[in-house]
Amino acid sequence: MILMKNKKEYILKNNELYFFNQNNKKKSILLNDNLLLGILSNFDFDNSYISIIDNHYKYYNLFNSLNLKENDAFIIKPNLELIRLYPTNFCNAFCSMCDIGKASNFGIDRLRKSSENEMSIETLTNLLNSKIFKNKKFKFSLGMVEPLLHKNIGNYIETISKKGHSVALITNGILLKQKAKEISKSGLDYIMVSIDGTEKIHDQIRGYKGIYRKAIEGIKTIKGLSPDLRIIINCAISNINYHNLYDFVLELEKEKIYLELQLQFLYFVSENMAKNHNKIIDLNQSVSVISDDINVYNINPIILENQIKKIKNLNTNYINQIRIRPDYSNKKDIENYFDEKGDILKDKNKCFFPFNQVSIKTDGDVLFHSRCFDYIIGNILHNDIEEIFLGEKANIFREKLKEFNYIFPACTRCCGIMAGW
């Protein structure tokens, strides 16, 4: 930062480049990738620098393509955009690939210990009273652990949406039919329902028979009440279901529900990844997701490659979009992803979550994400969220992440690397 104090600052935000002209009047240029690349190629980095405010994971790749070093060219500035809220601290499923479902005391399970069962409406209201929310629309994501177990979930969602913010709900769908009427009028933007395969396989993964039908009937019920509500089904690809994904898509299509489908490679922290991380970083990480039932190293990449190719060639009438995350469909990429060494992937190698979002536990504790580290940066019952996000503990974490080029060894197979958000 000191090196830049005498340089002229340009601000890159929302695809616009802001600057001051010769008359010291603020101006901006609306950009596309090609125009930005052209500007950067001729930019005077000796006398100027660029502060990246929004969408920095996208812009970072453009800077990298020009082989520019961060301290010589630009600064990534923290800009809070997404709030992940944990309405509850408990679940009604026993998922094989979930640290909480297995009560492992590892991974995300350890982060919910010593916390309240629910986040109260009063705590939520206290959060929303922050001045940071006054003139800006934020994204809120409700997950962790099962939000529909919250006794006032409809009121909880409405408390956020009536202030103009977008709200997404992530659920296993068990209580969706029961809660459909309550949440259909709450102002939700979309619901993501976790379904991990055909009826037989999903029930096996989730811990008891009938959970697949409950989720499907719940989706049908809420679509009947709110036909335009966006529904996304997320399927986590593991060794239990990878060979049967094509059949799952066909089975889902037969339900005749208009929805989107996301097939997501399972996020995990292997023993090797945790060991390598803990040797060099004082933010300890544990094995996550891997269990007696889940062993992602047993996935046959040729079979999964064939499954994905068949799905991509499939024409569907009701499933209006199918996404693969990350978008890997060849044997080599699949093999590299599900490697227990967890080496950094060439095209998925930066995490900017600590620069644009936070997660808030039921007791008000704030951390960067559930799959990150048990590193609390503050509590909304004691301090304003903006003060916490820009505070000393948050900045210490960001600086440590920057030291490792925005990726820790334990982070190479996590959502911050794979998803953008």
Q: CA-to-CA distance for 295 and 153, rounded, in angstroms? A: 35
Read off the pLDDT of residues 155-208 as tens digits, 9 standing for 90 and up.
999 999 999 999 999 999 999 999 999 999 999 999 999 999 999 999 999 888
Residue 104's pLDDT band, with cuts at 50, 70 and 90, is: very low
- How high is the pLDDT of residue 336? 96
Q: Which residue has the higher pLDDT, 336 or 96?
A: 336
pLDDT at 92 over 60: yes
- How high is the pLDDT of residue 71? 61
Among the residue ranges 62-66, 215-219, 252-256, the one predicted with the least confidence is 62-66
Read off the pLDDT of residues 39-55 as tens digits, 9 standing for 90 and up.
888 888 788 888 888 76
Displacement of CA 378 from its chain's centroid (Å): 21
Q: Quickly tell me which residue has 């993501």 as its tokens.
A: 192
pLDDT at 118 over 50: yes
Q: At what angle do helices 245-253 and 301-312 cross, to 10 degrees?
A: 30
Going by their DSSP bridges, the two strands 365-367 and 378-379 should be labelled as antiparallel
Read off the pLDDT of residues 294-325 as tens digits, 9 standing for 90 and up.
888 889 999 999 999 999 999 999 999 999 99
Residue range 4-15: mean pLDDT, rounded: 80
Helix (H) or strand (E) segment spanning residue 119:
none
Residue range 401-420: mean pLDDT, rounded: 86
- The residue among 24, 130, 144, 51 whose CA lies nearest residue 91 is 144
Residue 332's pLDDT band, with cuts at 50, 70 and 90, is: very high
Residue 293's pLDDT band, with cuts at 50, 70 and 90, is: confident
Residue range 83-106: mean pLDDT, rounded: 71
Query: 53 with 27: CB under 8 angstroms?
Result: no
- The residue among 401, 310, 392, 283 whose CA lies nearest residue 349 is 401
Per-residue tokens: 242:
């990878």
Q: CA-to-CA distance for 38 and 36, rounded, in angstroms? A: 5
Per-residue tokens: 377:
């940066």
Buried/exposed code over 26-63 (b: 16+ C-beta within 10 A; e: otherwise): eeeeebeeeebeeebeebeeeeebbbbbbbbbebbeeb
Q: Which residue has the higher pLDDT, 242 or 20?
A: 242
pLDDT at 373 over 90: no
- How high is the pLDDT of residue 420? 47
- How high is the pLDDT of residue 101? 47
Q: At what angle do helices 153-161 and 121-128 cross, to 10 degrees?
A: 10
Q: CA-to-CA distance for 310 and 305, rounded, in angstroms? A: 9
Residue 370's pLDDT band, with cuts at 50, 70 and 90, is: low
Q: How many CB atoms lie within 10 A of CB 297?
A: 12
Residue 81's pLDDT band, with cuts at 50, 70 and 90, is: very high
Q: What is the mean pLDDT of the chain?
A: 88
- How high is the pLDDT of residue 236? 94
Number of H-type helices and E-type strands within the chain? 17, 15
Q: CA-to-CA distance for 165 and 247, rounded, in angstroms? A: 37
pLDDT at 103 over 60: no
- pTM, full prediction: 0.88
pLDDT at 110 over 80: no
- How high is the pLDDT of residue 115? 61
Q: CA-to-CA distance for 368 and 394, rounded, in angstroms? A: 9
Q: CA-to-CA distance for 223 and 12, rounded, in angstroms? A: 39
How buried is residue 349: exposed, middle or buried, by Cβ count under 10 Å (0-12/13-18/19+)? middle
- How high is the pLDDT of residue 91? 81
Q: In what order do the strands lie in the sheet with 230-237?
A: 319-325, 259-265, 230-237, 190-194, 166-171, 139-142, 82-85, 357-360, 365-367, 378-379
pLDDT at 239 over 60: yes
